[in-house]
Amino acid sequence: MSEEPFYPTDDFRPMWAAVWQLRTRRLALGRRPLLMGVLNVTPDSFSDGGQFLEPQAAVDHAWRLAAEGADILDIGGESTRPYAQPVPAQEELRRVMPVLEALAGRLPIPISIDTYKAAVARQALDAGAEIINDVTALRGDPAMVPLAVQTGAAVCLMHMQGTPQTMQENPQYEDVVGEVYEFLRRRRDAALAAGIPLERIAVDPGIGFGKQLEHNLALLQNAWRLHALGCPVLVGPSRKRFIGQVLGDSEADRRYGTVGAALALARQGVQILRVHDVAMVRQALMVFEAAGGLDPIPLGAPPAGPT
Ligand code: HH2
């Protein structure tokens, strides 16, 4: 990693990814991040577990997220929170497929399937999903890479140290930003070598996946460095534990802290944010942009004030 102090400016933008090619459409990536709305059809997700297990409740929530301005809907049927138990593919399919079938072809925004199991991704793609959001970065199931190649699905490659069952048992790094960067570079190159084009690949540092507070903060502060991989950068800070740790209050309402993280990431040109609270984050980002929050900071001394 470069040691020079550096802050991204508009001069740096031309090398950042400007589109994410999905299976059947292209998402234009602009200055303000797109929002991936989270829909967990699980009994045990860390912040919304059990809320959308009933298919109709999940479908209603999907429409609500789209109405609030989500650009992508991410549907998951297995929690990957620390210590969550894996569920068999059949159970994951039983949770997500009725929801996907009710939404596909109707919901105007593209659907992403949050799974590391090829059997789940295959059926979701058949039903109309456009993106495979794989928290194992396509390492969890050998059938996932060929599936992505054959279907032309877009992929999100996320960094995780360990597995959800082990990842919070004292995760260690010498240089978390450098190591996560290298991991994503290797996974990007493996995807490219297998035949997944660069424009279909997004990368994600995996906030909370095998990371302590200092690691999460270093990754949030340095997310802009991932632009050098040439792929859209996606980050999921939403309602995560680091927020309570920063606040020194494990009971705090983490939605406010999510907004703070989202603004810091937007400032660094992160193209996609995965969030539960779409309306709240979207409104904050729109006002942040209008107030100049995405403009380069003018360098040099401030003009002399009145004497
Ligand atoms: N975080 C979670 C799940 N999937 N995918 C990506 N690409 N990036 C993330 O940061 C990410 C993710 C965990 O959050 P959530 O879905 O709310 O919880 P759970 O895994 O308990 O369902």
- Which residue ranges make up each domain of the chain? 19-290
How far is it, in rounded angstroms, from Cα 303 to Cα 216?
A: 37
Closest CA to 49 of 81, 97, 86, 16: 81
Residue 98 near residue 136 (C-beta atoms within 8 A): no
Q: Is 133 in the pocket of ligand 1 (CB under 6 A)?
A: yes
Q: Tell how far the Cα of 167 is from the centroid of ligand 1, in angstroms.
A: 14
11 DSSP 8-state letter: G
Distance from the CA of 240 to the center of ligand 1, in angstroms?
A: 9
Q: Does the C-beta of 79 come closer than 6 Å to ligand 1? A: yes
Ligand 1 binding pocket includes 115 (Cβ within 6 Å): no
Catalytic residue among 240, 241, 254, 282: 240
Cβ–ligand 1 contact at 39 (below 6 Å): no
**pLDDT given at position 9:** 59
| pLDDT of res. 5 | 44
Dist. CA 305 → ligand 1 center (Å): 48
User: What's the whole-model pTM score?
Assistant: 0.94
pLDDT along the chain (307 residues), means of 10: 51 75 96 96 87 93 98 96 92 98 97 98 98 97 98 98 87 96 97 97 97 98 94 97 97 98 96 98 97 81 75
202 and 154 Cβ atoms separated by less than 8 Å:
yes
Q: What pLDDT score does 11 carry?
A: 60
Catalytic member of 117, 122, 241, 274: 274
Q: Phi/psi of residue 273, each to 5°?
A: -115, 130
Which architecture does CATH list for 19-290?
Alpha-Beta Barrel (3.20)
Q: In what order do the strands lie in the sheet with 111-114?
A: 201-204, 154-158, 131-134, 111-114, 72-76, 34-40, 272-275, 234-235
* pLDDT value, residue 48: 83
Catalytic site residue 274?
yes
| 211 CB near ligand 1 (under 6 Å) | no
- The torsion defined by the Cα of 172, 177, 179 and 181, in degrees rounded to 10, comes to 150
Q: State residue 48 phi and psi, 5-degree precision.
A: -130, 20
- Which pLDDT does position 303 carry in this prediction? 73
Residue 2: predicted pLDDT: 47
Which residue bears the tokens 């059926």? Answer: 123
- How far is it, in rounded angstroms, from Cα 98 to Cα 102? 6
